[in-house]
Structure 1
Amino acid sequence: MSPASIHQNGPQTSQANPAEIFHGISHVSTDVNNAWYPLCTHKEVPKKGACKRPLATRILGQPVALFRDESNTVRCFADRCPHKNAKLSVGRVVNGKLECFYHGWQFDSHSGAVDHIPFLLHDKSIPAQAVTKAYPCVEKYNLVWVWPGDVEKADGGLIPFFEDFTDRKMMWSGWSLETPIDHSLWVENVLDHAHVNFVHDGQFTSRGLACPLKQVVTPTKTGIKGVQVRESEKFAHEATSLELEWVAPCLGIVRLVFGSQIANLYIFGVPMAPGMSRLLLSSYASSALMGVTMDHLPLPRGLKYLLQMNVPSRDAIAMTSQMRNMREGCSPLELPIACDEMAVIYRRWHARAFTDDVWWKGWNGTLDVEDLAKSAGQSCFGAAACGEFERDVARSSLWAPMCGKALAQRFANQRHESDPFAQPLWKNALMLAAAGAAGAFSAFYIDRILKSTRLFTRLFEQTGHVRCEM
C-alpha cells in the first residue's frame, strides 16, 4: 500500500452498529478543500527585513510560498513562476514583493500578477497570463491560516476560535514541523489517551498508572469531545480534569487542569500531501511550569529543540512504524476497543472526507495521487521520505534528554539552519547535562503541583467544604 492510499482505510468495525458509527456528527462538513488550515506559526514567516527567503510548504498537495509584503502582511502564493516554472520559494523577497530566483520576475503582493520583468523591452507590455495564484491568507491567533479551496468561499469568520486565543493571562508557545507521517495519524494520536502511559513512560507519566479506560463522547458543531473515565483511583488526583476534542478537519485538542494550573494544547495535523503532514503545536498555559518555557528562556538552540521535540519524538516512533505496516497492507485501526471510540468516529469521517479527489491534481490537472505522493515526498523530505526519517526515529534513544534528537535535527534543517549538534563534544555534553537538569527541574515542580493538589482536595473533602467527583 502506498502513502497515497493510507488515508482511505478506516477501522475494521464490522460488529459496530452503522447507526452509531458517526455518533451524531453527520452534520460535520467533509468539504476539506474549503477550510482554513494553519500552515505555520507567525514567527516562522519572519518580519520584513529579517529574512529574504519565502517559506515553502504544501497544503493538500498544493505547493505554496509564504512571505511578508511591504506592510508585513503575510501572503501566500502558488509556488510556481509562469515564465519557466521555477519554484518561487527558492527566490527572495524584495521590497515586499516575491522575486523569482531564475530571471528576477517580481509579483504584486496582492494579486499575484507579475509587475516587473527586468529584461522586457520598453515597447512591450507584461503578458496578461503572467500571474501566479494568490491564496486567501490570514495571520490570526499567532498562526498563519490559508484557504486552499474556492476563493469566493473564504470567510475569515470560519477560522476556529477558542477563548484561550485571546486570553492575555495565558502564556502561548508554538512551532511546526514537517514530517513524512500521514496527517490522520497525528490527529488520531491526540484522541488516543490510552497510548500516553506507555509511549510517554518516564516523561510525564508512568506505565504503572495504566488502568481500564473508557471515553464518554459527545458531538459538537465541528467534531466531537471526549472525557476520559478511568476505573481506578490511582490516577484520580493526577489531573483534576482531562478532556479531548477533535475539530474538523485536522485539529486535536488536549485540555488539562492540575489544581489551579491549566494547559490547553492545540495540535494540528495539517495535510501536506498523502502520507506527509505538518505537525503544528499551539499551546496555552496559565503557568510557565506547564510546558511553555521553551520560547521564553535564552537556551542554546540545540537544547531548546531537544526539549521541544522530546514528547513528539516518542509519538513519531509509534507512528512511523504504523506507516510502514500501512504501506504494506494494514489499516490504521484493526481491532478497536472501548477506549478507541473517538478514533473510530474520526476514522469513519476521514474515510469519507479524504478521498483521492481532495488532493491536488498537479499544474496541468492530470497528476495521479500516487505520483503526487512520490513527488511531494522527494521535494519535501528527500532521503527522509525513503525511510531515513523512519530509521532515525526508530533508533532514537529513549533516554529522556536525547530522545528528541532526530526530530530536533529535522527541525533545524527545515529552517535552513546548521545541525544544532555539530559542535565540540564538551558542548554537547554540557547541553545534555542541562537537558537532564531541566527535565528533573520540571518533573520536581510538576510533582509539587500534583502533591499540593491532592493535599488541598483531601483537606477540603475531610472538612466538608467541597465535594469532588472523580
Structure 2
Amino acid sequence: MLKNFWYAVEFGHAVGRRPRKVTCLGQDFVIWRRRDGRIACLSDLCVHRGGALSMGTLAGDDSIACPYHGWEYGPDGGCVKIPANPPGRGIPSKARVDAYPVIERYGMVWAFLGDLPEEERPPIPHIPQHEDPAFRAVYWETTVDANYERTLENVVDAAHTPFVHGTAFGNPDRPEIPDYEITGDDWHAEADILLSPPLPKGLWGALARRRPRAEHVVVSNGWYLPNIVKLHVRLPFGDLVLYDHNIPLGQNRTLVKIVGYRNFFTGRWADGNAVKRIEKIFEQDRPVVENQRPELLPFDLSAELHIRSDALQVAYRRRRRQLMDRGWWVGGDDIVTGDVPRREATVIPSPARRDNPDLARAWVHRSRGETVNEPARSAE
C-alpha cells in the first residue's frame, strides 16, 4: 500500500453533519461536513482512552465529541475541551489526534494520507467529464476480498475481457490485443486499445443497431496513482467513462467506488440501467480476482510472466517499485503492534507530525489486544 497520496475515501453526497467512519490503508478515519461546507478528516481514535470518534457527535464550533468521555477535537486535531477538567485547568498540548488535509472534487472526498508538505504532494487526477454538462454521472460501490492492486490491474488488463466477460463485453472469437502505445507522466499512464466487442444488448443495443457496425472500438485504459483506473469505451452511439477508486481497507480487502459517466441516454430514467450494467461487468470479475494467487502483487517484476498486452500493468509495477524505494510504501514504521493477542494496526503520519517536531510522538496509538506492559510505538 502506498502513502503520501490523495485518496478518494467517500462519495461527496454521502457526507453530512454526522460523523462518518471511513477506512483506508488499514487505518480508520472520521469525516464530517463543517458548517461552511468543507469536510474535516481525523484519525478515528480519541487519544484519551481510544474511543471511536465516529461514534460521537458534533459539538460547539465544528468540533467532534468522543462518545466515551466527551473530549472535543477541532478540525485541526487539537483537543478544545475536556469536560472532566475543573474550570481554569488547561488542556495538555499532547491532547490531539492526527488531522489530514481534505479536498472535495469530482463528486469525491479526497484525503491526503501522508506527511508531505503541500508543495510536494502528488496531484489529484483530472476528471474532465465531471464538469462537462454533456455527461451524466452514476455512482456504485462494493467490497472485494482481494488486494487493491489486484483489482486495479484487473481493470487495465484488456486481454481478460473475452474470457471473463464473454459476449457481455468481450469477444471470444477475436481475443487478439494489437500492440499499443502508452502515454503519461510520473502519476498516470494511459493507452488507446483496439477491441472487437459484441453488439450491445437491451436498451443500448437498440440504439447501436441504428448505426453502422464497427469492426473495432477504441477503449482508453489507464491508471492514476495510487489506486484509480479509468476505462473509456467509445461506443457507436456515445462515450462511457468509468473511474474505479480501489480503496485499500487492508492488505486483502478493497472497497471499490465507481463513478460512471455517459453522454447518451442522459435522463435520470436511464441511471438504473447504467448502474445495472456496471454491476454486471464487475460481478463477472469478482470470483477471478478474489481467487488470484499470490494474493498480493509481487514486489519483483520478474516474479510473474509478462507479454506485450500487459504493458500498462508493467508500467504500474515499475513506477510502484520506484515509490517503494523512495519510502512511500506502508511499512514497519507505520505499524503499531499489541501483544495479547498480538495484533497490528496501521497509523499513517499526518502533516502535523512534520510541522510540529516536538509533538511527533504526542499521539499514542494502540492496537486492539495490546496490554499496558508493552506500549505501542507512535508513528513518526
1:343 to 289, 310, 313: 313
Q: Distance in 2 between matches of 1:268 and 1:92?
A: 29
Distance 2:3 2:142 in 1: 22
Q: Report how far residue 286 of structure 1 moved.
A: 0.3
1:33 deviates by: 2.6
Partner of 1:264: 241
Query: Does the 8 A contact of 2:197 with 2:217 survive in 1?
Result: no
Structure with bigger helix share is 1
Deviation at 1:277, TM superposition (A): 2.6
Q: Where does 1:360-439 land on structure 2 (aligned, <5 Å)?
A: 361=332, 372=344
Partners of 1:273 and 1:373 within 8 A in 2:
no
Counterpart for residue 72 of structure 1: 37
Task: Find 2:66's aligned residue among 100, 103, 109.
Answer: 100
Aligned position for 1:456:
none
How far is the alpha carbon of 1:373 from its aligned partner? Answer: 7.6
Decide which structure has greater strand share.
Answer: 2
Deviation at 1:343, TM superposition (A): 1.7
Q: Which moved more, 1:99-108 or 1:218-227?
A: 218-227
Say whether the 8 Å CA contact 2:190–2:222 is kept in structure 1.
yes
Indicate how the Cα distance of structure 1 residues 90 and 309 shifts in structure 2: closer, same or farther if over 3 A, else same: farther
Question: Structure 2 CA distance, aligned partners of 1:317 and 1:160?
Answer: 29
Counterpart of 2:323 in structure 1 is: 353
| Counterpart residue type for residue 358 of structure 1 | W
CA distance in structure 2 between the partners assigned to 1:100 and 1:360 by the alignment: 29
Shift of the 371–362 alpha-carbon distance from structure 1 to 2, 3 Å rule, reads farther
1:136 touches 1:151 (CA, 8 Å); kept in 2? no
Task: Give how far 1:66 is off.
Answer: 1.4
Per-residue CA distance 1:243-282 (angstroms, 9 max, x = gap): 1112222221111111241111111223343233331212
CA contact (8 A) 1:239 1:258 kept: no
How many percent of aligned residue pairs carry the same amino acid? 22
Q: Contact 2:248–2:254 at 8 Å: present in 1 too?
A: yes
Specify the alignment match of 1:213 in structure 2. 177
Structure 1 position 322, deviation (Å)? 0.3
Q: 2:12 aligns with which of 28, 33, 42?
A: 42
Give the equivalent residue in structure 2 for 1:432: none
Task: Give the direction of change, closer, same or farther, for the CA distance of 1:75–1:175 in structure 2 (3 Å limit).
Answer: farther
Residue 291 of structure 2 corresponds to residue 314 of structure 1? no
Aligned residue number for residue 185 of structure 1: 150
Q: Deviations over 1:89-118 (max 9, x none)?
A: 232334643221111212112x12122222
Matched, 1:288 2:265: yes
Gaps in structure 2 of 5+ consecutive residues: 200-212, 348-366, 368-380
Matched, 1:56 2:31: no
Cα distance in 1, alignment partners of residues 165 and 320 from structure 2:
26
- TM-score, normalised via structure 2 length: 0.73
Once the two structures are superposed, residues 111-148 of structure 1 have per-residue CA deviations (whole angstroms, 9 ceiling, x without a partner) of: 12122222221131222211111100011110111111
Map 1:138-287; keep pairs closer than 5 Å: 138-150=103-115, 152-153=117-118, 158-202=123-167, 204-205=168-169, 207-221=171-185, 222-229=187-194, 237=214, 240-287=217-264
Which residue does the alignment assign to 2:88? 123
In structure 1, give the amino acid aligned to 2:31.
L
Match for 1:105: what amino acid? Answer: W
SS of alignment partner, residue 319 of structure 1: helix
Unaligned runs of 5+ residues in structure 1 are 1-6, 8-31, 380-470
- Secondary structure in 1 matching 2:117: helix
Q: CA 1:189 to 1:153, structure 2 compared with 1: closer, same or farther past 3 Å?
A: same
